[in-house]
Homo-oligomer: A and B are copies of this chain.
Amino acid sequence: MSGHYKSDPWSIIEEGFHPAMQEASESIFSLGNGRMGQRANFEEQYSGETLQGTYLAGIYYPDKTRVGWWKNGYPEYFAKVLNAPNWIGIHVEINGEPLDLHLLKPVEFRRELNMRKGTLERTFAVSVGSQQIEISSLRFLSMKRDEVGAIRYAVRSVDFSGSVAFTPYIDGNVVNRDSNYDEKFWEMEEAIAMEGKGFLKARTKKTGFVTCMAMGYDIQLNGAGLNPVTEVIQREDYVGNRISVEVSEGDELVLYKYVSVLTSMNHDPGVMVKQGLEILSNAMEAGYNTLLLEHVTIWENIWTRSDIVIEGDTGAQQGIRFNIYQLNQTYTGRDERLNIGPKGFTGEKYGGSTYWDTEAYMIPFYLSSSPREVSRNLLIYRHKHLEKAIENGRKLGFSGGAALYPMVTMNGEECHNEWEITFEEIHRNGAIAFAIYNYIRYTGDRDYLSTHGLEVLIAISRFWRQRVNWSRERQKYVMLGVTGPNEYENNVNNNWYTSKVASWTLKYTLEELVKIRDSDPVAHARIMERTRLISSEECVAWEHIVQNLHFPYDREQDIFLQQDGYMDKEQRMAADLDPAERPINQHWSWDRILRSCFIKQADVLQGIFLFEDEYDLETIRRHFDFYEPRTVHESSLSPCVHSILASRIGRPERAYELYLRTSRLDLDDYNHEVHEGLHITSMGGTWMSVVYGFGGMRVSEGMLAFDPKLPGEWNSLWFKIGYLDRILKITIEPGRMVVENQQGEGIELSLAGSTVHVPKGEAREVSC
């Protein structure tokens, strides 16, 4: 692994300035604190290629849908993640000339994302004539005070004498690169600059979200405060202060910039300026060092709970930490109105904030490595959108409370518009049902079912019922016109995975209804009332579908077929593809991709992964051996699932190779697209490929199990798992594993095939 960034267990480090890599590095070095985030844009002016990105959680704009050919049911708009006013800006002039690394080539350029501390540091030197200046900046978005950001920006003269001017500012003149009609999305409401301070209040068009960003600063020369002459700059969309200071050889001029960023998600716009200035003033009172300390302390706690330690393989270690770091700075789980966008706070592509990725790839991570509330909030998010999902179903012709959750959403409404995805990639409904099941089995929070879960399950079951039809020809139910997780097939009939999650949802809903009826008749009656469920008709129909749904199957190969007719395709292997034609989605026309047998990401294998308990090892191996060689892994969500299954069936090399591909996808930029932002949602998959794959973790028949497969490259692996109110620390070394029960009552576990009781506070070792 010799990538662009230096290998280091705790940091991402770039040495040397590489303008061609600037947008990629802006993604890689992104910062966030769950409430807001930003790409690693420079504080000072940069006239080279850059993608400016400042993002505020939950703030979006309904950009007019762009489409050549309208189809009934398309959404009117597409929720765009918005580039918000820029609050990191510090314009720097040296002897009146702007500091701009596109013009003044830096030397000794270095940046470091310190993942342990959650800080971004940048150091470099520039020459002014024959004189040298060293510059460093350190910034963070406080995890403690999630509406506060701070920057230390230092200019040190090596042998320079002359003027240095700082203009810390907030700039509302921002655009999205991918706006459909080149519109600006923000309208300025107020911009007031005064000496030492300024704030800017802006409102999004249409959606009417308001943000108020306030800034203040301190300036020190060689550690001592200054009261320089200040020019106050105020324009309609800009506030700033220009401070010019004369420096001599050896001087260090430091600007501490503090910002508060508030939004109408949490504040009344009427008092937002006042509250913003208060929060700013509290932060400034605490001071930069205290803010930093608070922030680092929170990160320490996060790492204590969610770190994964891999010894003997720095690339793998850095990869997994990068994933865990990004997940934690994207979503903290404190706010059930938020979710995990595909690019998090690192880019604007795709838009919307919620895909099925959340349920299929993120919830497992948060379930095991965060307090229960985090996953619960992700479930509540969907429960809050239930009415809109039913409305969406109605729009597409379903009735009686049938819910189709959107493919992409911000507020519960669909905002994606390719018919083959929007209308047909309906397996997302299954992932949402499965997440409820997953949550219950990891947390034991069965109350959630009667208060929220079953309503969602029933609405989804109603959808599945209407989405199948009886084929007189087959004497079976069929599910026509679907797109599975493998989006390289569109509008197919009887996609095995979709039918499988549909059937499973019906079965699970029926089972839970019976359990609740037997255990808590009052809760059961309440659910029946709330959902107007007609048990004698609806449950009977569901059961009939469970018993009679058609699943495509190939007798000769003894495998479940991805869809009807899959074997009619020319059967080729991905390895036989001309490397010059890969990725095929950049080289082949869409029809050619569709006609081919090539698979974008796990499809049948996604089902085998979810319902692994139902299949013996030989069946899993047979399906892996059939499907994986036909898979081109052109989705970021692909390698992780395959890595887990490869571990399971005893293919450690393949598992390890696929693991590196998922964990270092962005760091090594496998798909040449990291400049657009990071693949945040596949990072949950990376975590799974370690814990489920190499750790061999499963919940099987109500018992947590580990069956480790440590890669040969690793000396050891350890991580912590939250499960039914325990916290277990799992350490895996060649030939042995140790489980320490760090919190909660004693528990029976299945360790490498043996059932072992691990008492409270104790550890147990088994060989493996």
Contacts and interface: CB of A to CB of B under 8 A. Distances in A.
Interface of A: 65-69, 71-73, 78, 181, 395-397, 417-420, 423-424, 469-474, 478, 480-481, 490-491, 493, 564-565, 567-571, 585-592, 594-595
A73 B590 contact: yes
A568 B491 contact: no
A569 B397 contact: no
A600 B339 CA distance: 41
Contacts of A565: 480, 493, 564-565
A589 B397 contact: yes
A498 to B, nearest CB: 13
B588 A481 contact: no
B473 A568 contact: yes
Nearest to A421: B69
Nearest to A479: B595
Given A471-B567, A473-B568, A68 B417 contact: yes
A420 B480 CA distance: 17
A397 B592 CA distance: 7
Nearest to A418: B69
A676 to B, nearest CB: 14
Contacts of A564: 564-565
A707 B523 CA distance: 75
Contacts of A591: 73, 396, 419, 423-424, 481
Contacts of A478: 568
Contact of A586 (B67, B72, B571, B594): B72
B568 A423 contact: no
A350 to B, nearest CB: 11
A570 B470 contact: yes
B472 A571 contact: yes
Contact of A570 (B424, B469, B595): B469
A395 B587 CA distance: 10
A589 B71 contact: yes
A564 B571 CA distance: 19
Tallying the copies of this chain within the complex gives: 2
A419 B595 CA distance: 13
Contact of A491 (B71, B397, B491): B491
A472 B397 CA distance: 39
Nearest to A470: B570
A493 B66 contact: no
A419 B67 contact: no
Given A478-B568, A480-B595, 7 more contacts: A66-B68, A181-B181, A471-B569, A480-B568, A490-B490, A493-B568, A565-B565
A491 B570 contact: no
A177 to B, nearest CB: 15
Nearest to A492: B491
Q: 4 smallest A-B Cβ distances: which pairs?
A: A73-B589, A423-B591, A71-B590, A396-B589
A745 to B, nearest CB: 50
A544 to B, nearest CB: 16
A401 to B, nearest CB: 18
Contact of A68 (B65, B423, B481, B570): B65
A229 B605 CA distance: 86
* Max chain B C-beta neighbours (<10 A), residue from A68, A571, A585: A68
Given A472-B571, A478-B568, A397 B68 contact: no
Given A480-B568, A568-B474, A491 B594 contact: yes
A352 to B, nearest CB: 13
B589 A395 contact: yes
Nearest to A586: B72
B72 A423 contact: no
26 contacts: A66-B68, A67-B67, A67-B68, A68-B417, A68-B418, A72-B585, A72-B587, A72-B590, A73-B590, A181-B181, A395-B589, A397-B589, A397-B592, A419-B591, A423-B589, A469-B570, A470-B570, A472-B571, A473-B567, A478-B568, A480-B569, A491-B491, A491-B594, A493-B565, A564-B564, A565-B565
Nearest to A482: B591
Contacts of A395: 589
A93 B620 CA distance: 85
Contacts of A586: 72
A397 B72 contact: no
B589 A72 contact: yes
* Max chain B C-beta neighbours (<10 A), residue from A65, A181, A589, A594: A589
A68 B585 CA distance: 16
Nearest to A397: B592
A580 to B, nearest CB: 13
A417 B418 CA distance: 13
A561 to B, nearest CB: 10
Given A71-B589, A586-B72, A569 B469 contact: yes
Contacts of A471: 567-569
A555 to B, nearest CB: 11
Given A469-B570, A595-B480, A419 B590 contact: yes
Contacts of A73: 589-591
Contacts of A472: 567, 571
A546 to B, nearest CB: 19
A416 to B, nearest CB: 8
